[in-house]
Amino acid sequence: MNIVTLNSLSKTYPGGKKAVDSLNINLEKGEVFGFLGPNGAGKTTTVKLLNGMLSPTEGSCRIFGIDPTIAPEKLHALVGVVTEHAQMYQNLTGIQNLVFYGSVFGLSTKESEKRGLDLLERLELSDARDKKLSSYSTGMRQRLSLARSLIHRPQILFLDEPTSGLDPESAQNVHTMIRNLAKDHGITVFLCTHQLRYAQEICTRYGLMENGRLIAEGTFHNLRSSVYPGMKIKLKAQGVPSDLPCRKIGNLAYEVEIESEKDIPQIVRKIVEAGGEIYHVSAELPTLEDIYFTLTRKKEGSI
Amino acid sequence: MKSQMFAIIKKDLQGITTNKRMFSTLLAVPLVLSVFIPTVFILVLHFAPDESVNLQKLLEMLPINELEEDLSLSIIGLVLNYILPIFFLIIPIMAATVMSATSFVGEKEKQTLETLLYSPLSLKEIFRSKVLASFLLSMFVSAISFVAMLLVVEAETKLTTGGFILPDMKWALILILVSPAISLIAITLIVRGSAKAQSVEDAQQRAVFLLLPVLLLLVSQFTGVLFVNVWILLALGIVCALLALWLLRKSMDDFQYEVLLK
Ligand SMILES: Nc1ncnc2c1ncn2[C@@H]1O[C@H](COP(=O)(O)OP(=O)(O)OP(=O)(O)O)[C@@H](O)[C@H]1O
Ligand SMILES: [Mg+2]
């Protein structure tokens, strides 16, 4: 069953900027959807459209069958949202903020406090729970926002750069948490991020945006095979026979384009049989980053 | 009304009462109006030589039935029942203006509005919570001022004239109906203005422009109404209350998140 459906969703801002252009995306339960793209691609705009903060100029979207332009308050009970502009109260402490948002979602003070303390613990903010938000650092605020978005145990999370401004350790921690929420609790996650290395670790599917358009979509495997049909291996060897399709890239270093892993033993055998010596063989799989750059560049080149 | 709305009301009220400086200013002005002004009046009356003003004549011109034996007492009664009630139309509105003018735009400036909009409350419910928070504050300030005024006026009357004068029926009507209704109208309009404003200053200016003519009208016309009779006052109160409820229902019909966040 599709939990999120975007149907030629488009948004043109009053100034005339077409920020989102005919998006069609479907998300299923428990997916972690990595929504990628350069600055100004339209990611935040999409998140706001999906939560009813903006009204689409064309097309529509449904989340749990709810149209956010019609019943946003019903939708909000089911979703947790973190965006850059959704801040909390400076004059309240960490836990006071969480208790407030908990009660706005209809939880009792006691229950909000219990959940709040638990979330603070998981996000390593326990020491700062009684400090005013005004004394929080950027990364601490960011983590408190994530705690806030989880207080009512939403079924879907919209996270717009939830780890920008976090140190590597906290970012790792937050990503692990997001992955576990999806895996163990079946929460669907819509994650906008620029941190491709982490995205590659936790996302089950990706959408790549550029200039408001979705230029590629699919699992890591889909994307990779569409961009790099084959793979590369790197070799460090002496006495490589010249009939092998190796490209010399340095002293004793070679690069070979192959179709799949199955080709590796054959190449190794050929070198050994020809009396060569192998010091190192590694398969070079393109990372999400490689794919991202290839896709965004390809697009630029074709325009 | 949803219980979640109380969370917003509580948060807004705490926000204003924990800001000590703001809250003391908020209380100071009403107290000056309701305590200081009557005091000055009673003292002047007490120390001024009787002959300097022809009070008797003045009183006879007014439609008051039973004159007290003590002239000063009659005058104090006049002030208490015909002049001071006007303050209680102004005080609650003044007390609520700052809070209601910042209600939406204040959250917008602190970037907490979007977070609030992600709540399971509709825009209308958030709007009503904001209005109600300001309204409760205004009624609280108004009640405190009334008690303070009554205590001071009674004590001073006792000291200067030895007599004793009670507020009449109209007071009850004003405190329970007319003043809350007029405050609610003003607050609803100011909160609505706050939702449209781009900055806190902008919202406060809007509020002042909205209120000045209203306050002038109240001050200039209301004494007349007080002299007429209780029924007219009651009718006026009911009309204002209905208008307030209508405004509260209708406001925000034309609002969307997008407009609010702009
Ligand atoms: N309120 C607005 N009015 C007009 N144009 C806007 C508005 N908000 C965003 N835009 C424009 O819409 C486009 C998409 O912006 P958006 O914020 O969705 O990008 P993004 O993908 O989130 O970028 P980033 O990675 O920098 O967060 C940009 O060109 C931006 O200038
Ligand atoms: Mg963005």
Query: Residues A138-181: pLDDT tens digits?
Result: 999 999 999 999 999 999 999 999 998 899 999 999 999 999 99
pLDDT of residue B150: 92
pLDDT digits (tens, 9 = 90+) for A208-219: 999 999 999 999
pLDDT band of residue B117 (cuts 50, 70, 90) is very high
Tens digits of per-residue pLDDT, A102-122? 999 999 999 999 999 999 999
Model pLDDT for residues A20-34, shown as the tens digit of each residue: 999 999 999 999 999
Averaged pLDDT, B28-49? 84
User: Is residue A294 helix, strand or coil?
Assistant: helix
Distance (Å, whole) CA B201 – CA B92: 21
| Range with the poorest average pLDDT among A31-45, B38-52, B72-86, B156-170 | B38-52
- Mean of pLDDT over chain A: 92
Residue with the larger pLDDT of the pair B34 and A242:
B34
How far CA A211 is from CA of A164, A208, A215, A255, in Å, comes to 21, 10, 9, 35
Amino acid, single-letter form, for residue B215: L
Task: Determine contact: A141 vs chain B, CB below 8 A.
Answer: no
Q: Considering only A170-179, A279-288, B15-24, B48-57, which range has the smallest mean pLDDT?
A: B48-57
pLDDT > 70? residue B68: no
Q: Which residues of B54-89 are buried (b: 16+ CB within 10 A; e: fewer)?
A: ebeeebeeeeeeeebebbbbbbbbbbbbbebbbbbb
Q: Which chain A residues are within 8 Å of B128, Cβ to Cβ?
A: none
Residues 6+ apart with CB under 8 A from A84: A44, A160, A161, A164
Is the CA virtual torsion A107, A111, A116, A122 positive or negative?
negative
A41 lines ligand 1 (CB under 6 A): yes
Is the model's pLDDT at B58 over the cut of 70? no
Per-residue model confidence (pLDDT) at position B251: 85
User: Mean pLDDT, to the nearest integer, of B41-62?
Assistant: 69
Say what the pLDDT of residue A22 is: 94
Could you give the 3-state DSSP secondary structure of residue A39?
A: coil
Read off the pLDDT of each residue in A77-98 and give the average, rounded to a whole number. 96
Output the six-digit token pair for B36.
């200081």
pLDDT winner (highest mean) among A182-186, B66-70, B156-160: A182-186
Q: Is the pLDDT assigned to residue B77 strictly greater than 80?
A: yes
Say if A74 is an interface residue toward chain B (CB within 8 Å).
yes
Longest dimension (CA), chain B: 69
**Taking 80 as the threshold, does the pLDDT of residue B8 lie above it?**
yes
The amino acid that residue A128 corresponds to is A
Q: Decide which of A234 and A150 is more confident.
A: A150
**pLDDT over 60 (residue B66):** no
Looking at the DSSP assignment, which residues form a beta bridge with residue A66?
A: A63
The pLDDT score that the predictor gives to residue A260 is: 81
Mutation choice for A interface testing from B114, B118, B123, B128 by most A CBs within 10 A: B118
Q: Give, rounded to a whole angstrom, the gap between the first and last alpha carbons of chain B.
A: 28
CB neighbourhood size of A281 (10 A):
17
Atom of ligand 1 nearest to the CA of A212: 14
Looking at chain A, list the stretches that DSSP marks H as alpha helix, in order from N- to C-terminal side. Answer: 43-50, 72-76, 94-104, 109-122, 138-150, 168-185, 196-202, 220-227, 263-273, 288-302
Which residue has its alpha carbon closest to ligand 1 atom 18?
A42
Tell the CATH topology of A230-285: Alpha-Beta Plaits (3.30.70)
CA proximity to A79, closest of B229, B120, B54: B120
Of A115-129, B62-76, B172-186, which range is least confident?
Answer: B62-76
Give chain B positions within 8 Å (CB) of A112.
Answer: none
For residue A52, the chain B residues in CB contact (below 8 A) are: 257
Lowest mean pLDDT among A141-150, B108-117, B221-230: B221-230
Pair of tokens at residue B202? 């902008």
- Looking at every residue in chain B, the average pLDDT score rounds to 86
Per-residue pLDDT band for A45 (boundaries 50, 70, 90) equals: very high
Closest atom of ligand 1 relative to the A45 alpha carbon: 18
Q: Which CATH number fits domain A2-225: 3.40.50.150, 2.40.30.330, 3.40.50.300, 3.40.50.10130?
A: 3.40.50.300
pLDDT at position B50 is 61
pLDDT score, position B76: 84
For chain B, where are the alpha helices, taking DSSP H only? Answer: 3-17, 20-31, 37-47, 55-61, 71-78, 84-109, 113-117, 123-161, 169-173, 179-196, 200-228, 230-250, 257-261
Identify the burial level of B176 via C-beta atoms within 10 angstroms of its C-beta, where 0-12 means exposed, 13-18 middle and 19 or more buried: exposed
DSSP per position, A56-103:
-SEEEEEETTB-TTT-HHHHHTTEEEE-TT----TTSBHHHHHHHHHH
pTM: 0.88
Burial of residue A251 (number of CB atoms within 10 Å: 0-12, 13-18, 19+): exposed
CA dihedral sign, ordered B95, B97, B103, B108: negative
More confident residue, B165 or B57: B165
pLDDT band at B64 (very low <50, low <70, confident <90, very high): low
**Where is mean pLDDT largest: B91-100, B122-131, B212-221, B245-254?**
B122-131
Domain definitions of chain B by residue range: 3-260
How many Å apart are CA A95 and CA A132, to the nearest integer? Answer: 9
Q: Do domains A2-225 and A230-285 have the same CATH topology?
A: no
Task: Return the pLDDT at A303.
Answer: 43
How do the domains of chain A map onto residue ranges? 2-225, 230-285
Name the percent of chain A lying above pLDDT 90. Answer: 72
What's the pLDDT band for A73 if we cut at 50, 70, 90? very high
Give the gap in angstroms from C-alpha B29 to the nearest C-alpha of chain A: 26
- Tokens standing for residue A64: 């749990």
* ipTM for this prediction: 0.87
A121-134: pLDDT as tens digits = 999 999 999 999 99
Q: Which of B15, B110, B122 sits opposite A73 (nearest CB)?
A: B122
**B191 and B244 in contact (C-beta within 8 Å)?**
no
Residues 6+ apart with CB under 8 A from B14: none
Beta bridge partners of A231: A258
Ligand nearest to the CA of A15: 1
Query: Which chain A residue has its CA at the smallest distance from B121's CA?
Result: A73
The finding on whether A39 has its CB within 6 A of some atom of ligand 1 is: yes
